[in-house]
Chain A
Protein backbone atom coordinates (compact mmCIF):
# COMPACT_ATOMS: atom_id res chain seq x y z
CA UNK A 1 0.00 0.00 0.00
CA UNK A 2 2.33 2.72 1.08
CA UNK A 3 5.90 2.64 -0.07
CA UNK A 4 7.13 6.11 0.76
CA UNK A 5 10.09 4.93 2.80
CA UNK A 6 11.68 3.47 -0.32
CA UNK A 7 13.83 5.54 -2.63
CA UNK A 8 12.41 4.39 -5.96
CA UNK A 9 10.06 7.03 -7.35
CA UNK A 10 6.49 6.02 -8.02
CA UNK A 11 4.43 7.22 -10.96
CA UNK A 12 1.30 6.72 -13.01
CA UNK A 13 1.18 5.76 -16.67
CA UNK A 14 1.09 9.06 -18.57
CA UNK A 15 1.82 10.09 -22.13
CA UNK A 16 4.06 13.16 -22.27
CA UNK A 17 2.30 16.19 -23.80
CA UNK A 18 -0.79 14.17 -24.87
CA UNK A 19 1.46 12.38 -27.34
CA UNK A 20 -0.64 10.58 -29.92
CA UNK A 21 -3.78 12.66 -29.46
CA UNK A 22 -2.61 15.06 -32.12
CA UNK A 23 0.33 13.43 -33.81
CA UNK A 24 2.94 10.96 -32.66
CA UNK A 25 6.34 12.37 -31.80
CA UNK A 26 9.28 10.07 -31.17
CA UNK A 27 10.38 10.91 -27.65
CA UNK A 28 14.03 10.02 -28.14
CA UNK A 29 15.72 13.25 -29.20
CA UNK A 30 19.39 12.36 -29.27
CA UNK A 31 21.62 9.40 -28.59
CA UNK A 32 25.36 9.38 -27.95
CA UNK A 33 27.36 6.23 -28.65
CA UNK A 34 30.62 6.23 -26.71
CA UNK A 35 33.13 3.51 -27.57
CA UNK A 36 36.77 2.61 -27.94
CA UNK A 37 38.30 1.92 -31.34
CA UNK A 38 40.62 -0.81 -30.16
CA UNK A 39 39.31 -2.38 -26.96
CA UNK A 40 37.60 -5.76 -27.14
CA UNK A 41 34.68 -4.68 -24.93
CA UNK A 42 33.57 -2.29 -27.69
CA UNK A 43 33.57 -5.00 -30.36
CA UNK A 44 29.79 -5.27 -30.53
CA UNK A 45 29.16 -1.54 -30.67
CA UNK A 46 31.82 -1.15 -33.39
CA UNK A 47 30.05 -3.82 -35.44
CA UNK A 48 26.78 -2.01 -34.89
CA UNK A 49 28.24 1.32 -36.00
CA UNK A 50 29.77 -0.24 -39.12
CA UNK A 51 26.71 -2.14 -40.23
CA UNK A 52 23.50 -0.65 -38.83
CA UNK A 53 24.04 2.91 -37.63
CA UNK A 54 23.52 4.63 -40.99
CA UNK A 55 20.27 2.72 -41.54
CA UNK A 56 19.17 3.61 -38.02
CA UNK A 57 19.65 7.32 -38.47
CA UNK A 58 18.13 7.24 -41.95
CA UNK A 59 14.99 5.59 -40.59
CA UNK A 60 14.85 7.99 -37.62
CA UNK A 61 15.66 11.46 -38.93
CA UNK A 62 14.23 12.94 -35.73
CA UNK A 63 16.97 11.40 -33.60
CA UNK A 64 20.35 13.11 -33.50
CA UNK A 65 23.11 10.50 -33.30
CA UNK A 66 26.52 11.42 -31.94
CA UNK A 67 29.58 9.15 -31.96
CA UNK A 68 32.23 9.71 -29.35
CA UNK A 69 35.34 7.52 -29.62
CA UNK A 70 37.30 7.36 -26.37
CA UNK A 71 40.55 5.56 -25.86
CA UNK A 72 40.31 2.52 -23.57
CA UNK A 73 37.04 3.41 -21.94
CA UNK A 74 33.98 1.21 -21.71
CA UNK A 75 31.30 1.40 -24.41
CA UNK A 76 28.21 3.36 -23.38
CA UNK A 77 24.87 4.44 -24.84
CA UNK A 78 23.44 7.72 -23.55
CA UNK A 79 19.89 8.45 -24.66
CA UNK A 80 18.26 11.82 -24.10
CA UNK A 81 14.50 12.25 -24.17
CA UNK A 82 12.17 15.16 -24.81
CA UNK A 83 11.00 15.21 -21.21
CA UNK A 84 14.57 15.84 -20.04
CA UNK A 85 15.36 12.29 -18.97
CA UNK A 86 18.84 10.97 -19.63
CA UNK A 87 19.37 7.22 -19.75
CA UNK A 88 22.95 6.01 -19.33
CA UNK A 89 23.57 2.42 -20.31
CA UNK A 90 26.73 0.40 -20.35
CA UNK A 91 27.08 -1.96 -23.31
CA UNK A 92 30.30 -3.56 -22.12
CA UNK A 93 30.92 -6.83 -24.00
CA UNK A 94 27.44 -6.69 -25.55
CA UNK A 95 27.15 -8.36 -28.94
CA UNK A 96 25.95 -6.69 -32.12
CA UNK A 97 22.46 -8.21 -31.94
CA UNK A 98 22.05 -7.30 -28.28
CA UNK A 99 22.95 -3.69 -29.02
CA UNK A 100 20.45 -3.64 -31.90
CA UNK A 101 17.75 -4.71 -29.47
CA UNK A 102 18.76 -2.20 -26.80
CA UNK A 103 18.78 0.59 -29.39
CA UNK A 104 15.22 -0.37 -30.27
CA UNK A 105 14.25 -0.24 -26.59
CA UNK A 106 15.82 3.20 -26.16
CA UNK A 107 14.16 4.47 -29.33
CA UNK A 108 10.65 3.36 -28.44
CA UNK A 109 10.45 4.21 -24.75
CA UNK A 110 9.19 7.63 -23.67
CA UNK A 111 11.78 8.47 -21.06
CA UNK A 112 13.53 6.87 -18.14
CA UNK A 113 10.71 4.39 -17.55
CA UNK A 114 12.87 2.08 -15.47
CA UNK A 115 13.48 4.91 -12.98
CA UNK A 116 9.96 4.82 -11.57
CA UNK A 117 7.66 2.20 -10.14
CA UNK A 118 4.18 2.22 -11.63
CA UNK A 119 1.50 2.54 -8.97
CA UNK A 120 -1.08 1.07 -11.30
CA UNK A 121 -1.07 -0.19 -14.86
CA UNK A 122 -3.88 2.16 -15.87
CA UNK A 123 -4.78 5.78 -15.26
CA UNK A 124 -7.77 8.02 -15.88
CA UNK A 125 -8.80 11.54 -14.88
CA UNK A 126 -12.48 10.54 -15.07
CA UNK A 127 -13.00 7.19 -13.37
CA UNK A 128 -16.78 7.33 -13.79
CA UNK A 129 -18.95 8.37 -16.73
CA UNK A 130 -22.11 8.82 -14.65
CA UNK A 131 -20.25 10.84 -12.01
CA UNK A 132 -18.94 9.54 -8.71
CA UNK A 133 -21.29 7.89 -6.23
CA UNK A 134 -22.85 10.04 -3.51
CA UNK A 135 -25.20 9.09 -0.65
CA UNK A 136 -28.01 10.57 -2.75
CA UNK A 137 -27.39 8.36 -5.77
CA UNK A 138 -29.75 5.43 -5.18
CA UNK A 139 -31.78 7.02 -2.41
CA UNK A 140 -35.53 6.47 -2.24
CA UNK A 141 -37.07 9.95 -2.70
CA UNK A 142 -39.89 8.95 -0.37
CA UNK A 143 -37.43 9.13 2.54
CA UNK A 144 -37.22 12.91 2.03
CA UNK A 145 -40.72 13.44 3.41
CA UNK A 146 -40.85 10.51 5.86
CA UNK A 147 -40.70 10.98 9.64
CA UNK A 148 -38.16 8.49 10.92
CA UNK A 149 -38.26 6.03 12.59
CA UNK A 150 -41.08 4.57 10.56
CA UNK A 151 -41.87 0.81 10.43
CA UNK A 152 -42.51 1.23 6.71
CA UNK A 153 -38.79 1.83 6.14
CA UNK A 154 -37.55 -0.08 9.17
CA UNK A 155 -39.36 -3.42 8.99
CA UNK A 156 -37.78 -6.36 7.27
CA UNK A 157 -39.19 -6.69 3.75
CA UNK A 158 -36.99 -9.52 2.57
CA UNK A 159 -38.59 -12.41 4.48
CA UNK A 160 -40.37 -15.07 2.47
CA UNK A 161 -44.17 -15.07 2.61
CA UNK A 162 -45.61 -17.49 5.20
CA UNK A 163 -48.21 -20.13 4.27
CA UNK A 164 -50.94 -18.30 6.22
CA UNK A 165 -50.13 -15.05 4.44
CA UNK A 166 -50.18 -16.82 1.09
CA UNK A 167 -53.59 -18.29 1.87
CA UNK A 168 -54.91 -14.89 2.89
CA UNK A 169 -53.67 -13.31 -0.34
CA UNK A 170 -55.30 -16.08 -2.40
CA UNK A 171 -58.54 -15.49 -0.53
CA UNK A 172 -58.37 -11.74 -1.19
CA UNK A 173 -57.80 -12.40 -4.88
CA UNK A 174 -60.77 -14.76 -5.04
CA UNK A 175 -63.04 -12.16 -3.46
CA UNK A 176 -62.16 -9.62 -6.11
CA UNK A 177 -62.80 -12.03 -8.93
CA UNK A 178 -66.23 -12.92 -7.45
CA UNK A 179 -67.07 -9.22 -7.39
CA UNK A 180 -65.99 -8.90 -10.99
CA UNK A 181 -68.25 -11.84 -11.89
CA UNK A 182 -71.21 -10.07 -10.31
CA UNK A 183 -70.47 -6.93 -12.32
CA UNK A 184 -70.14 -9.06 -15.40
CA UNK A 185 -73.62 -10.50 -14.85
Chain B
Protein backbone atom coordinates (compact mmCIF):
# COMPACT_ATOMS: atom_id res chain seq x y z
CA UNK B 1 0.00 0.00 0.00
CA UNK B 2 1.41 3.37 -0.95
CA UNK B 3 1.81 6.16 1.61
CA UNK B 4 -1.05 8.17 0.11
CA UNK B 5 -3.48 5.25 0.29
CA UNK B 6 -2.39 4.42 3.83
CA UNK B 7 -3.17 7.87 5.24
CA UNK B 8 -6.38 8.00 3.22
CA UNK B 9 -7.50 4.80 4.92
CA UNK B 10 -6.43 6.16 8.28
CA UNK B 11 -8.48 9.31 7.77
CA UNK B 12 -11.56 7.53 6.43
CA UNK B 13 -11.77 5.24 9.44
CA UNK B 14 -10.74 7.83 12.06
CA UNK B 15 -12.98 7.84 15.14
CA UNK B 16 -14.59 11.22 15.77
CA UNK B 17 -15.61 12.22 19.31
CA UNK B 18 -19.08 13.77 19.59
CA UNK B 19 -20.61 15.51 22.57
CA UNK B 20 -24.32 15.41 23.37
CA UNK B 21 -26.06 17.60 25.93
CA UNK B 22 -28.89 15.60 27.56
CA UNK B 23 -30.47 18.61 29.27
CA UNK B 24 -34.27 18.42 28.89
CA UNK B 25 -33.99 15.63 26.33
CA UNK B 26 -36.10 12.52 26.16
CA UNK B 27 -33.57 9.67 26.79
CA UNK B 28 -35.44 7.13 24.66
CA UNK B 29 -35.65 9.39 21.61
CA UNK B 30 -32.08 10.63 22.11
CA UNK B 31 -30.89 7.03 22.31
CA UNK B 32 -32.00 6.46 18.71
CA UNK B 33 -29.78 9.37 17.64
CA UNK B 34 -26.82 8.44 19.84
CA UNK B 35 -27.00 4.87 18.60
CA UNK B 36 -26.50 6.00 15.01
CA UNK B 37 -23.30 7.82 15.94
CA UNK B 38 -22.01 4.94 18.06
CA UNK B 39 -22.47 2.46 15.23
CA UNK B 40 -21.26 4.87 12.52
CA UNK B 41 -24.61 4.80 10.72
CA UNK B 42 -24.32 8.52 9.98
CA UNK B 43 -21.34 7.87 7.69
CA UNK B 44 -21.57 7.16 3.97
CA UNK B 45 -19.03 4.33 4.40
CA UNK B 46 -21.30 2.47 6.82
CA UNK B 47 -21.50 -1.28 6.43
CA UNK B 48 -22.49 -3.70 9.21
CA UNK B 49 -19.19 -5.54 8.79
CA UNK B 50 -16.84 -2.58 9.04
CA UNK B 51 -15.77 -1.03 12.30
CA UNK B 52 -16.53 2.65 11.79
CA UNK B 53 -18.41 3.62 14.98
CA UNK B 54 -17.68 6.92 16.69
CA UNK B 55 -17.36 7.91 20.35
CA UNK B 56 -20.16 9.83 22.07
CA UNK B 57 -19.82 11.81 25.30
CA UNK B 58 -23.15 12.59 27.00
CA UNK B 59 -23.25 15.38 29.55
CA UNK B 60 -25.96 16.62 31.95
CA UNK B 61 -27.58 13.20 32.17
CA UNK B 62 -29.00 14.25 35.54
CA UNK B 63 -31.28 16.72 33.77
CA UNK B 64 -33.04 14.43 31.32
CA UNK B 65 -36.78 14.78 30.88
CA UNK B 66 -39.19 11.85 30.84
CA UNK B 67 -42.58 12.01 29.23
CA UNK B 68 -45.96 11.99 31.07
CA UNK B 69 -45.83 10.27 34.44
CA UNK B 70 -42.89 8.07 33.44
CA UNK B 71 -40.84 9.12 36.47
CA UNK B 72 -43.45 7.58 38.72
CA UNK B 73 -44.71 4.72 36.59
CA UNK B 74 -41.85 3.38 34.46
CA UNK B 75 -40.32 0.37 36.16
CA UNK B 76 -36.88 -1.12 35.51
CA UNK B 77 -36.91 -4.87 35.90
CA UNK B 78 -34.04 -6.93 37.26
CA UNK B 79 -33.83 -10.56 38.22
CA UNK B 80 -30.99 -11.95 40.31
CA UNK B 81 -31.53 -15.47 38.99
CA UNK B 82 -32.58 -16.89 42.32
CA UNK B 83 -36.22 -17.72 43.11
CA UNK B 84 -37.96 -14.60 44.24
CA UNK B 85 -35.07 -12.50 42.92
CA UNK B 86 -37.16 -10.24 40.70
CA UNK B 87 -37.16 -6.53 41.45
CA UNK B 88 -38.99 -3.66 39.84
CA UNK B 89 -37.37 -0.30 40.40
CA UNK B 90 -39.18 2.91 39.42
CA UNK B 91 -37.48 5.38 37.11
CA UNK B 92 -37.12 8.07 39.78
CA UNK B 93 -35.49 5.57 42.11
CA UNK B 94 -33.04 4.47 39.44
CA UNK B 95 -32.27 8.08 38.63
CA UNK B 96 -31.65 8.94 42.27
CA UNK B 97 -29.36 5.96 42.64
CA UNK B 98 -27.33 6.62 39.47
CA UNK B 99 -28.15 9.60 37.25
CA UNK B 100 -26.37 8.01 34.25
CA UNK B 101 -28.29 4.74 34.39
CA UNK B 102 -31.44 5.72 32.47
CA UNK B 103 -29.65 7.07 29.41
CA UNK B 104 -27.22 4.14 29.44
CA UNK B 105 -30.03 1.61 29.50
CA UNK B 106 -31.91 3.52 26.82
CA UNK B 107 -28.93 3.42 24.42
CA UNK B 108 -28.29 -0.23 25.24
CA UNK B 109 -31.88 -1.11 24.45
CA UNK B 110 -31.89 0.90 21.23
CA UNK B 111 -29.14 -1.27 19.72
CA UNK B 112 -29.59 -4.77 18.37
CA UNK B 113 -28.62 -7.48 20.80
CA UNK B 114 -25.53 -8.95 19.17
CA UNK B 115 -21.99 -9.68 20.31
CA UNK B 116 -20.89 -6.22 19.25
CA UNK B 117 -23.29 -4.36 21.53
CA UNK B 118 -21.23 -4.48 24.72
CA UNK B 119 -18.10 -3.33 22.86
CA UNK B 120 -20.01 -0.50 21.26
CA UNK B 121 -21.24 0.58 24.69
CA UNK B 122 -17.59 1.05 25.71
CA UNK B 123 -17.50 4.01 23.36
CA UNK B 124 -20.30 5.79 25.21
CA UNK B 125 -19.27 8.10 28.05
CA UNK B 126 -21.99 9.55 30.30
CA UNK B 127 -21.47 12.30 32.86
CA UNK B 128 -24.24 13.47 35.22
CA UNK B 129 -23.19 17.12 35.13
CA UNK B 130 -21.23 19.57 33.03
CA UNK B 131 -17.84 18.58 34.43
CA UNK B 132 -15.85 16.28 32.14
CA UNK B 133 -12.21 15.20 32.50
CA UNK B 134 -9.88 17.52 30.60
CA UNK B 135 -8.38 14.84 28.30
CA UNK B 136 -11.85 13.87 27.11
CA UNK B 137 -12.85 17.47 26.41
CA UNK B 138 -9.75 17.82 24.24
CA UNK B 139 -10.80 14.86 22.09
CA UNK B 140 -14.25 16.23 21.33
CA UNK B 141 -14.50 17.85 17.90
CA UNK B 142 -18.19 17.70 17.08
CA UNK B 143 -21.53 18.22 18.78
CA UNK B 144 -24.72 16.28 18.17
CA UNK B 145 -27.75 18.52 17.90
CA UNK B 146 -30.45 18.08 20.52
CA UNK B 147 -33.95 16.92 19.62
CA UNK B 148 -35.88 19.46 21.69
CA UNK B 149 -35.43 23.09 22.57
CA UNK B 150 -34.28 23.65 26.14
CA UNK B 151 -36.90 25.83 27.88
CA UNK B 152 -35.79 28.61 30.22
CA UNK B 153 -37.39 28.52 33.66
CA UNK B 154 -38.93 31.73 34.99
CA UNK B 155 -36.86 31.61 38.20
CA UNK B 156 -33.67 31.43 36.11
CA UNK B 157 -34.39 34.77 34.44
CA UNK B 158 -33.13 37.99 36.08
CA UNK B 159 -35.69 39.70 38.27
CA UNK B 160 -35.10 43.01 36.54
CA UNK B 161 -35.77 41.52 33.16
CA UNK B 162 -38.99 39.97 34.38
CA UNK B 163 -40.06 43.32 35.72
CA UNK B 164 -39.27 45.04 32.44
CA UNK B 165 -41.25 42.51 30.41
CA UNK B 166 -44.40 44.19 28.90
CA UNK B 167 -47.60 43.13 30.62
CA UNK B 168 -51.20 43.50 29.53
CA UNK B 169 -52.31 44.14 33.10
CA UNK B 170 -51.20 43.88 36.70
CA UNK B 171 -52.92 41.83 39.28
CA UNK B 172 -54.88 43.91 41.77
CA UNK B 173 -53.00 44.32 45.08
CA UNK B 174 -55.63 42.35 47.01
CA UNK B 175 -55.64 39.44 44.52
CA UNK B 176 -54.58 36.18 46.14
CA UNK B 177 -52.48 33.94 43.91
CA UNK B 178 -53.18 30.30 44.46
A contact set with B: CB distance below 8 Å:
1, 131-136, 139, 143, 148-151, 153-159
Contacts and interface: CB of A to CB of B under 8 A. Distances in A.
If over half of A's interface residues share one DSSP class (helix, strand or loop), that class is named, otherwise mixed; here it is loop
If over half of B's interface residues share one DSSP class (helix, strand or loop), that class is named, otherwise mixed; here it is loop
Interface in B1-33: 8, 11-12, 14, 16, 19-21
A139 B43 CA distance: 12
Interface residues of B, number: 25
Interface in B102-145: 137, 140-145
Given A131-B8, A154-B19, A159-B149, 5 more contacts: A133-B43, A151-B150, A154-B144, A154-B146, A158-B145
A136 B149 contact: no
B49 A148 contact: no
Closest 6 CB pairs between A and B?
Answer: A134-B11, A153-B143, A154-B143, A135-B16, A133-B44, A149-B19
B86 interface: no
Contacts, number: 58
B12 A156 contact: no
Given A132-B45, A149-B21, A156 B11 contact: no
Interface of B: 8, 11-12, 14, 16, 19-21, 43-45, 49, 59, 137, 140-150
Nearest to B5: A132
